[in-house]
Structure 1
Amino acid sequence: MRPFAFRMALTEPTAIDPYKAQETEGILVCKALFTGLLRSGAGGRPAAATAHSWGCDPTGRTWTFRLRDDTCFGDGEPVTAHSFVRGWERALDPAANTETAYHLAGVEGFGDVRAGRTGRLAGAVAEDDLTLVVRLSQPDVQFDLKTLQPVFSPVPASAGPAVDPVFNDQPLGNGPFAMDGPWEHGKQIRLVRNPRWWGGPVALDAVHIDILDPVTGLDDEYAGFLAGRYDYARIPPGRLPEAGRHLGGAGFLEEDGAGLHYLIPFCHRPPMDSADARRAVSHAIDRQGIADRLFHGHRTPAHSLLSPWFGGAHAPAGDDDPTAFDPGAARAHALRAGLPPGSVVEFAVNTGSGHEGWTSAVAEGLREVLGWDVRLLHTDARGLVGHRTSEAATGLCRAAWACDYPTPDNMLFPLLHSSCTAPDAEGTAHGDNEGRYVNADLDAALTRARARTDPAGRDREWRLADAIATRDLALIPLWYRTDQRVYDAERLTGVAIDFDGNPTLTTVRPA
């Protein structure tokens, strides 16, 4: 009988090993290979996975996770509390210097491990094989949600250090799928169903992932779907009307997510080191016009950082909306910032992911409204990361954020908290606050939110933090995240978009 395989494509991930998996592509593969303490259930809410129960003490500083006794890695090694401690300490190895380490920053001893003073993470304790106790340095009543990020995954004893090319390219996990041979960089990743998976029946025998050229990847992926090579694909913005019209209903998926498309203004140096400069940019952008013209109504303009997905934490800007399209106000703010017509502003963008049209439209709008000499710097996805983390970065940079776990803390803290700038001796940023924004009032609101046990109180603190950042335009919001996908409805059923924006591989069934 022919294996039932799911065929798809993506661009080259940064990593598929849990110590470093970070963007949508890498997280797709990593979560197919590894299962953490919890999983993302309906509406992004946490559900039991390797842990069957969990909770924190009244202080919000000590969490206890009780594990199932019937889970194992692909080689048969049992998954225990020690497996989780091993994985967390491995991820914090300073030799690895992973960008995802900050997710563990609240655990006691984090700083000592990151600095290389010890390899032991003091706050992660395996009381016995099935009891994991986590002590935090500060209260965090939503720490359990953080464990949805792959950096919290368990690893087997055979994993070795984080920087191990053999394990990095062929990780051995405890998830629903296993590697079918090592990752062939620039070519493919092949997965097969894990027969030791404990989480219920999986219909797919295999997942075939082709790796595409990052410059043409989005167009090539959709063309491959139309040609019958792929069962699932993203859609280039210009093809959205066609996809919705011809593949409506079961074959077309659209999901609003907990994320944001935005511009990073580099706040640490001119020309974006003043609120007036950033307001000039924001007021010169016709978000609704671009959404209608280039995204055909499939994007919602953002007037805050937190999207409506976050419910009570979402609050659009009020009367003095710094995201309103207002050319007159834009020119006035530009002059107050000392940026008259002719001023040079760099705008870094990456190619190959469908951003070329709207980034060109934004640049042209700045030229027309403000008369600036806007210089587009084109690079690939990895080059863009290198640019925006550099001390030399100036002006603006295209960016997007897809939350790793369903709390506003995951957006506001890493992107804007002062502790997340983390430049090294050369000035290169190693945190996600790449615009180097610092505001003590925002920091304080986020600290208070982590300690609030009442949801309404947490929402108030998050709304305050969002209002501070939006007023300062610490990031310049453009559109809230909306994912559109197509899939072969004649061949497959049970396909959905998960919290990370990826296909729900464990639910796919033959049509």
Structure 2
Amino acid sequence: MKKWLVGMLILVIVAAGCSNGSSGGSAADIPQEITVNAMSEPPDLDPALATDTTSGWVLDHVFEGLYTKDENGNPVLGAAENVDVSEDGKTYTFTLRDDAKWSDGSNVTAQDFEYGWKRVLNPDTGSSFAFYMYYIKGAEAYNKGDGAVEDVGITAQDDKTLVVELGAPLGYFDELLTMWTFYPVKQELVEENSAWSAEADTYVSNGPFKLTKWAHDSEVVIEKNENYWDNSVVKLDKVTYKIVNDATTYYQMFKTKELDLIQTLPSDVIEQEKESEEYSEVPYFGTYMYMFNVEKEPFTNEKIRRAFTLAVDRETLTQNVTKSGETPAYAFVPPGVETPEGDFREAGGEYFEENAAEAKRLLEEGMEEEGWTELPEVSITYNTAENNKKIAEAVQAMYKDNLGVDVKLENQEWKTYLDTTKQGNFQMARMGWIGVLVDPVVILDYYLGDSPNNRTNWVNEEYDQLMADAKVEQDPDKRYELLHQAEAVLMEDLPFNPIYHYTNNYLTSQNFENIVYPVNRYPYLKWAEKVSE
């Protein structure tokens, strides 16, 4: 797994570092600023509450955990300068750096980490990502209201020493700690102001950059954090995230040099841009899908869910609509995970194939089972973005052609859309899920019965048990076999319709070097430098 990830990241970094070098002077004379496109308003910049990649993109630049990632995607110590791991692999003792500072100049303490993590787990916080901490002793019980906070294995022994106790050894705990859910928050600040993360003037963080402006629905600005312990490696003084969700508009803004980096190009320009030195494609460890609400007719019926799945021509979608190198998805876990038996996806195989005739037959059988002479009206909900619209329109046409079903389309802005799906106010809704680690478990976690991210209302006890068993299994072969079994259960019930496994395409100005393009995050700018104008 790590070998694949590191190799891919090295390849991408080398490609990104090939600048034309045509600078009129030294880099010291060039304003160290970059303007990128976030596409949508970050729904939440509180590490405990953020669940989306847009918010995560900003959070990864303004915060830092005990571990961070190096240029090759490997976990390395961040706010911690040392860690001791017990012989049984269950107790981690972290020592924080003496120069770990908040952006206001005050010291980052072990108590800030203890407070921040326990705040995530506090049921009153309502964190959708609290389950990522369930590996910690007592964390799940506390989060579910069945245990006390005092029993959670997170203890600040003093200002610089944090002890974390796990329920069982976890081979990728260092990678897990790089995700934003495990970032610290300044206890004094959060307790004094519950809305501390809503505006730039009340925001305090500990990463390579600090938040200096948030003009909602317009732009987010972060600037170099002079109090960051490793600020000497940070070359950029300013990063501006524009919020433009129309692909044609932000493509033109790149062409007129108003933007230095964009992603998710308009599908009709991809072919002409592929020969450009500014163009790059990066595998992205995630799956684009449509969720079925299994408590909303007609998707209460498994045969009808399968019919709507088999009626989609993924090859046509990826080749003629998205055109960005995506891989048609016939399962949930994307390619890219190396296991003892090879790539997890290749070993698991495909769980279905498109078949319009079979889809039509299943639809008729499902309707007969339900006693329907007419199918209830069906709508697809998606968040506003040009490519999402094109995909939804293509799927709509396929349902008309292959099932004889007229499907309505409804779009909403990203933050509203997240609220709508969280409340279950949909029948079929677009969603993407990106693994915070390159491991099947963080993909499959999405459909756990008690996962707040699982908005389908699908609960399967066998699936949940297989996932629980996999998380404590120390034998790699047995662990991956349990994960294959879990995915098979998921694909049998089909509470979702997988469409494709992601590939991100980018246009990046050749004036910049050392931008990192991870396979499970948006571009990382800690080491980026503008070398020409």
Q: CA deviation at 1:44?
A: 4.5
The equivalent residue for 2:224 is 193
Query: Which digits, 9 at most, give the CA deviation of each residue in 1:311-335, with x for residues without a partner?
Result: 336235978x553111111112112
On the 8 A contact 1:257/1:309 being kept in 2, the answer is: no
Does residue 503 of the first structure (1) align with residue 532 of the second (2)?
A: no
Whether contact under 8 Å (2:293, 2:455) holds in the other structure is yes
Structure-2-length-normalised TM-score: 0.84
Counterpart amino acid of residue 522 in structure 2: N
For residues 44 and 276 of structure 1, the distance between their equivalents in structure 2, rounded to whole angstroms, comes to: 42
Match of 1:148 among 178, 181, 186: 178
Distance in 2 separating the partners of 1:237 and 1:73:
42
| 1:204/1:306 CA distance change after superposition, 3 Å | same
Amino acid of the structure 1 residue aligned with 2:286? G
1:17 is the counterpart of 2:46? yes
The counterpart of 2:300, out of the listed 253, 260, 273, is 273
Aligned counterparts, 1:434-453, within 5 A:
434-453=455-474
Q: Who is 2:283 aligned against?
A: 256
Aligned length: 490
CA shift, 1:113, in A, is 5.8
Residue by residue, what CA displacement relative to the aligned partner does 1:441-499 show, whole Å, maximum 9, x if unpaired? 2212211211122333322222221222123223221110111110111x112223124
* 1:397 lines up with 2:426 in the alignment: no
1:80-136 deviations in Å (ceiling 9; x for gaps): 322211212333455542333332344325544675997667321112333322234
Would you say the 8 A contact 1:279–1:322 is kept in 2?
no
CA 1:124–1:301 in structure 2 vs 1: closer, same or farther (change >3 Å)? Answer: same
- Aligned residue in 1 for 2:31: 3
The residue type equivalent to 2:259 in the other structure is Y
Residues 334-366 of structure 1: CA deviation (Å, up to 9, x unaligned):
122117895232211222252111111111111
1:440 to partner: Cα distance: 2.1
Deviation of 1:253 after TM superposition, in Å, equals: 1.9
User: Out of 383, 397, 416, which is 1:383 matched to?
Assistant: 416
Deviations 1:146-205 (Å, cap 9, x if unpaired)?
Answer: 32221211123442239632444232111111122x422122222111122223511111
Deviation at 1:69, TM superposition (A): 3.2
Measure, in 1, the Cα distance between the counterparts of 2:226 and 2:41. 27
Amino acid at match of 2:238: A
Q: Does 1:65 align with 2:85?
A: no
Residue correspondence of structure 1 range 43-442 to structure 2 within 5 A: 44-54=73-83, 57=86, 61-107=90-136, 108-112=138-142, 115=145, 122-137=152-167, 140-161=170-191, 164-170=194-200, 171-180=203-212, 182-199=213-230, 200-212=232-244, 214=245, 216=246, 218-234=247-263, 235-245=265-275, 247=276, 249=277, 251-296=278-323, 298-312=325-339, 314-316=344-346, 322-338=351-367, 343=375, 344-394=377-427, 396-413=428-445, 415-420=446-451, 431-442=452-463
Q: Residues 130 and 289 (structure 1 numbering): CA distance in 2 closer, same or farther, change over 3 Å?
A: same
CA contact 1:258–1:310 (8 Å) conserved in 2: no
2:502 to 478, 481, 486: 481
Task: Please say if residues 33 and 530 of structure 2, whose CA atoms lie closer than 8 Å, have aligned partners that are also in contact.
Answer: no
Helix, strand or coil at the partner of 2:457: coil
Name the aligned partner's letter for residue 368 of structure 1.
Answer: D
Q: Which has the higher contact order (CA 8 A, sep 6+)?
A: 2
Indicate how the Cα distance of structure 1 residues 342 and 383 shifts in structure 2: closer, same or farther if over 3 A, else same.
farther
| Structure 2: distance between partners of 1:88 and 1:151 | 8
Q: Which position in structure 2 is the counterpart of 1:423?
A: none
- Per-residue CA shift, 1:17-48, capped at 9, x if unaligned? 22223322211111111100112346644222
Which aligned runs of 4 or more in structure 1 are off by greater than 6 angstroms? 116-119
Distance 1:503 1:159 in 2: 29
C-alpha deviations, 1:364-387, integer Å up to 9, x for none?
111111112322222222232233
Tell me which amino acid in the other structure corresponds to 2:530: P
Letter in structure 2 aligned against 1:509: E
Give TM-score, length-normalised by structure 1.
Answer: 0.88
Question: After the TM superposition, which of the residue ranges 6-15 and 76-85 deviates more from structure 2?
Answer: 76-85
Cα distance in 2, alignment partners of residues 454 and 118 from structure 1: 32
State the distance in 2 between where 1:79 and 1:499 align: 30
Q: What is the root-mean-square deviation of aligned Cα atoms in Å?
A: 2.7
Check if 1:471 corresponds to 2:474. Answer: no
- 1:392-434 deviations in Å (ceiling 9; x for gaps): 432x111111122332222111x111122xxxxxxxxxx0111
Question: Residues 470 and 476 of structure 1 are in contact (CA less than 8 Å); yes or no, is this contact kept in structure 2?
Answer: no
| Higher deviation after alignment, 274-283 or 41-50 | 41-50
Contact 2:348 2:484 in 1 (8 A): no
Paired residue type of 2:401:
E
Cα pair distance change 1:346/1:164, threshold 3 Å:
same
Q: Indicate the SS of the match to 1:294.
A: helix
Structure 2 vs 1, CA of residues 317 and 139 (structure 1 numbering), >3 Å: closer, same or farther? closer
User: Percent same amino acid among aligned pairs?
Assistant: 23
Q: Is the 8 A contact 1:310 1:407 kept in 2?
A: yes
Name the aligned partner's letter for residue 367 of structure 1.
Answer: K
Q: Which stretches in structure 1 are left out of the alignment for 5+ residues? A: 421-430
Please state whether the residue corresponding to 2:216 is helix, strand or coil. Answer: coil
Q: Tell me how far apart the structure 2 counterparts of residues 379 and 136 of structure 1 sit (CA, whole Å).
A: 40
